[in-house]
Amino acid sequence: LFINSDLILSKKIVENIFTNKKKNFFFARKPKNNYKSRKIKALSKNGKIIKIDLIKSNYNLDVVGPFKLENSSIMFLKQYIKKINKELIAKMTCYVFLGNLTKKTKFEFEYINDNDWNEVNTLTEYKAIQKKLTFNKLSK
């Protein structure tokens, strides 16, 4: 399971991650131009993920994450790390790195609603999330 530390997910989404049987999947949403705009995009054709990257055009999904991978995909990534230029990999976001799996495996995705996730990158965002959520709500 690959989850960014700045991503806060609803209980429903966390339960979905652990109960679904999909081996290689991530959460995505239809692109929106709102405050939750995503830099990492995906292109899906006929239900198949073709590309995950910093795509400027010709995409139809925003990648939210997290990613859940099967062992064979992790092994592929370990081999990929050995072959790739270290300076290049140091500049990649983790989701772009994981997007290299589109060459090897079939990704599945599920749509996630904006109410089911928050990203906290700044103190202002943290304070806004604190007002919205409490640990009590998260534990229910």
How buried is residue 50: exposed, middle or buried, by Cβ count under 10 Å (0-12/13-18/19+)? middle
Query: β-pairing, 41-45 with 25-29?
Result: unpaired
Check residues 135 and 43 and name the one with the higher pLDDT.
Answer: 43
Q: Give pLDDT, residue 137.
A: 52
Alpha-carbon Rg of the chain, whole angstroms?
16
Condensed to tens digits (0 to 9), the pLDDT of residues 76-119 reads 999 999 998 889 888 888 999 999 899 888 999 999 998 899 88
Q: Give pLDDT, residue 4.
A: 86
H-helix segments, 8-121: 11-19, 71-83, 86-91, 94-99
The three-class DSSP label of residue 83 is helix
Condensed to tens digits (0 to 9), the pLDDT of residues 47-77 reads 889 999 998 888 999 999 999 999 999 999 9
